[in-house]
């Protein structure tokens, strides 16, 4: 697999992960604005834990899925490059978000 294709996969995986995080964070932010009634119930922690498990599985498959497939196909160098590239892009997206936060508060 060419390096350009690996980087493309890394961008797709990283931005899909970021989009999912943005959607979940938006849902939680909007829900916290009074849309969802706050009622003490066992279902609140159950729902949050189920969301956590689902999120871990989804983002885990986005970040690790293709690298694992490449690794199992014997393409270890490409697998490591894709994994590290995806993590680096996610890290850069995180830095951009923190810079936006600093700009909003500065």
- pLDDT tens, residue by residue, 61-86: 999 999 999 999 999 999 999 999 99
CB half-sphere exposure, 72, CA atoms < 13 A: 6
Q: How confident is the model at residue 7 (pLDDT cuts 50, 70, 90)?
A: very high
pLDDT of residue 80: 97
What's the domain range around 38?
A: 3-105
How far apart (Å, rounded) are the C-alpha atoms in residues 49 and 1? 38
pLDDT at 12 > cutoff 90? yes
How many domains are contained in the chain?
1
Q: Which of 4-8, 34-38, 66-70 is predicted least confidently?
A: 34-38
pLDDT at 26 > cutoff 80? yes
User: What is the pTM (predicted TM-score) of this model?
Assistant: 0.86
């Amino acid at each position: 697999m060419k390096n350009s294709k690996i980087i493309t996969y890394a961008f797709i995986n990283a931005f899909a992960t970021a989009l999912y995080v943005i959607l979940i964070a938006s849902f939680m932010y909007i829900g916290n604005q009074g849309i969802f009634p706050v009622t003490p119930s066992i279902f609140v922690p159950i729902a949050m834990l189920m969301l956590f498990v689902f999120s871990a599985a989804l983002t885990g498959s986005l970040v690790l899925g293709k690298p694992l497939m490449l690794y199992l196909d014997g393409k270890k160098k490409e697998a490591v490059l894709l994994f590290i590239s995806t993590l680096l892009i996610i890290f850069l997206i995180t830095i951009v978000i923190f810079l936006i936060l600093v700009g909003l508060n500065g």
